[in-house]
Amino acid sequence: MDWIIRSGRIVDGSGLPAFEGDVALKDGKVVRLGGRIEAEGAQVFDATGCIVAPGFIDPHTHFDVQLLWDGQARPALEHGVTTIVPGNCSLSLAPLKAGDRQRVVGMFQQIEEMPDAAFDGAFEWRWESFDGYLAALKESLSINVAPLVGHSVIRLWVMGAAATERAATAEELAAMQDLLAQCLEAGAVGLSTSFVDVDENLMPVPSRYAHLEELDALAAVLGRYGRMLQVVPEFYATDITLARVDQLAELSLRYGIPTTFSPLFDSAATPDNVPRVMARVAEQMARGAQVWPQVQTRPIDISFTFEVASLLFAGLPKWYRTMRMGTEEKIAALSDPEWVAQLLAEAEPGGNGVRWAGVQVRGGVSDASLVGQTLGALAEVQGTSPAQVMIDLSLQHNLEASFIAASLGHNDSDRVGALLADGNVHVGASDAGAHIQSFATYGDTGYLLGHFVRDRGALSLEAAIKKITADTARIWGLPGRGQLAPGFAGDVAIFDAAEIDRCAEEACFDMPEEGMRYVRASKGMVGVFVNGALSWSKASGYADAPVGQIATQLPGAASA
Amino acid sequence: MSEAPFIEAAEIAPGHDGAAELVLFVRYPGAGRQTVTLDADAAEVLFEHTQTGDVSALHGVPWHHLKDVLQQRPGSGAAGGNG
């Protein structure tokens, strides 16, 4: 044995009740579990009082670029995530001809908010093919990766500039089919496409120029390999999303493939969206189609500054009028006591359901101690109103103070909890690695296990673990992962069920050239094994062990 | 009852990308109802047009009228939001 994880409460991913015992790992895999296991020379990880579960699988990430300089996909790993699916939303870093790199960089910058520095010197472009990209990843991979290949880059490879001009010819379609087959042979877990994404010029990405016949032809190739089709539908319009569910169901049935779409949000503004979409999904699943809606666990926050007119103020005409002024005019208005008095009168008790007292200072202020504090708390100390505090901070910082109105959408815990527990829902859509300068996309599993399992009882612990491990592995066809059972990969998350959660969002400067992103640290996680190697622990932090594997292939022995 | 589709309601909602967005509820003759979601830039065009920053000013406005306004803005063919 290499490791014995001692005296934990094992939730094995099957959905069956937890049980006490040890878990033994050897050569990268689980070899025994349950009861007391003794093995001379094995290292021991004390899991007393902790849950021992399979490592979590995140099916919707955008770590494609970050993995090239951070093979641990920080901070995903410390949240217990041991396998990630990058390449979503039609976008991947391969296959990609050298001459097309800049076009794809622009798409990544728009969709993931990746800074220039991330592409300029942070890694060396040495590949064009999909297997070349995987070879580059594997040099320092510490987390398992099941990469999608993006429809937009496949189109770009075959059609060049015409990829954003027209439908494909029959010859081009055949070339795309061949290219997709090569990617799947190399280890791609499927194909991603998007009906909504735009590039840095706000123009549709290449996949949006495809006719239905093109997607059908590519799905036929997926069918030969039994691989996944991931889609971003027009999620902002229920009727169109319903049509996409039907379209995916037909492709699933015709070619025997799993399909998944994301995101699906619950919103107070459109309360019939989720019930209608889920009813259609249930109807299609009953026919035998696989159309998995991905639902994120975390609520949606809205961030804003006074520099740009956020629609958050659109229900407050005086405020919105002020926000739309030029900078100098805006500062003058916010400095005018009479004008401010009118703003304050309009601000109470709150617009668009926003309670200003609960809005937090997010950044852009000289006094770091203010970050994370609510306007209500600051107002109480200063003997003024929350809206006045917001105005004062903005004026003091040249309108650059930023604020966050937390949990404004997808925030009804009863509704979202029931949705997450639905047997037809695929828990995912974290978007980890994207939107990095807008909000943190990490810790959704901690939020699931803390908020929805422990605090709300929306799902049992066993059911929630199953959803983010064995169910995900089955949906995506990841062999030998997602369960604690002999022969399965030694991917293990060990956590304190009483503590598990996500920490507060914080700005972090760990991108190339000290670029900023928002992250959340883990809470309650105590140890994470990847392919039998201790890759992160609360006590020692990250271990620099390149043990990650391409998860579409059977688990092998850890190399470190 | 109106002969043409019109804006029955308009609300501000949280968007997938962490920004607020404008949701229009379009009522069609014959009882059909559709939601149209607009980002801040598109909403700004409508507010410019209605000379107000108040969502309630959009209530009752014919949908085709707003659609024409939106389609005349630069880059209107690229409507979409990143998933």
Q: Quick one: which of A156, A154, A158 has its CA closest to A170?
A: A158
pLDDT of A487 > 80? The answer is: yes
Q: Provide the shortest C-alpha distance from residue B40 to chain A (in Å).
A: 6
Distance CA A413, CA A297 (A): 10
Q: What's the pLDDT at B33?
A: 80
**A437-456: average pLDDT:** 95
Q: Quick one: which of A71, A59, A168, A46 has its CA closest to A432?
A: A59
Q: Please tell me the total number of residues recorded for chain A in this structure.
A: 560
CB A492 within 8 A of CB A80: no
pLDDT tier, A217 (very low <50, low <70, confident <90, very high otherwise): very high
Distance CA A122, CA A513 (A): 9
Distances in whole angstroms, Cα of residue A443 to Cα of each of A434, A524, B19? 14, 11, 20
Contact list, B16 vs chain A (CB under 8 Å): 235, 263, 265, 300
pLDDT of A152 > 90? The answer is: yes
- Residues pairing with A308 in the sheet: none
Alpha-helix runs per DSSP H in A63-167: 101-112, 130-138, 151-159
Long-range contacts at A344-349 (CB < 8 A, ≥ 24 apart): A344/A385, A344/A387, A344/A388, A346/A316, A346/A317, A346/A318, A346/A319, A347/A316, A347/A319, A347/A385, A347/A387, A348/A385, A348/A387
Closest alpha carbon within chain B to A107: B82
Identify the residue among B52, B70, B82 best suited for mutation to test binding to A, counting A beta carbons within 10 A and taking the highest. B82
Per-residue model confidence as pLDDT tens digits over A332-386: 999 999 999 999 998 876 555 567 898 999 989 999 899 989 999 999 999 999 9
Q: What's the pLDDT at B79?
A: 43
* Partner-chain contact A237 B17, CB within 8 Å: no
Q: Quick one: which of A205, A211, A167, A90 has its CA closest to B78?
A: A205
Per-residue model confidence as pLDDT tens digits over A43-63: 999 999 999 999 999 999 999
Q: What's the pLDDT at B74?
A: 61
Number of H helices, E strands in chain A: 16, 25
Closest alpha carbon within chain B to A404: B18
Contact list, B56 vs chain A (CB under 8 Å): 315
Asked which of A72-81, A314-323, A520-529 is least confident by mean pLDDT, the reply is A314-323
Q: What's the pLDDT at A558?
A: 46
Hey, where are the domains in chain A?
A: 3-55+497-542, 57-299+410-477, 302-408
Chain B interface, Cβ < 8 Å to A: 11-23, 34-37, 40, 43-44, 47, 52-56, 75, 78, 80-83
* Partner-chain contact A439 B18, CB within 8 Å: yes
pLDDT tier, A100 (very low <50, low <70, confident <90, very high otherwise): very high
Distance CA A519, CA A524 (A): 16
Instruction: Report the alpha-carbon angle A414-A419-A424, nearest 5.
Output: 160
**A455-484: average pLDDT:** 98
Q: What's the pLDDT at A352?
A: 53
In angstroms, how far apart are the furthest CA atoms of chain A? Answer: 79
Q: Quick one: which of B38, B42, B37, B35 has its CA closest to B75?
A: B42
pLDDT tier, A559 (very low <50, low <70, confident <90, very high otherwise): very low
Q: Quick one: which of A213, A265, A253, A208 has its CA closest to A231?
A: A208
CATH of A3-55+497-542, one of 1.25.50.10, 1.20.1250.20, 2.30.40.10, 1.10.760.10: 2.30.40.10
pLDDT tier, B49 (very low <50, low <70, confident <90, very high otherwise): confident
Q: Which distant-in-sequence residues (6+ apart) come within 8 Å of A102 by Cβ? A: none
Q: What's the pLDDT at A200?
A: 83
pLDDT tier, A560 (very low <50, low <70, confident <90, very high otherwise): very low
Dig out the tokens for A118 from the structure.
């991330």
Distance CA A255, CA A259 (A): 11
Q: What's the pLDDT at B81?
A: 53
Closest alpha carbon within chain B to A205: B78
| Helix (H), strand (E) at residue A3 | strand A3-10
**If you average pLDDT over every residue of chain A, what do you get?**
93
CATH code linked to domain A57-299+410-477: 3.20.20.140
Per-residue model confidence as pLDDT tens digits over A252-290: 999 999 999 999 999 888 899 999 999 999 999 999 999
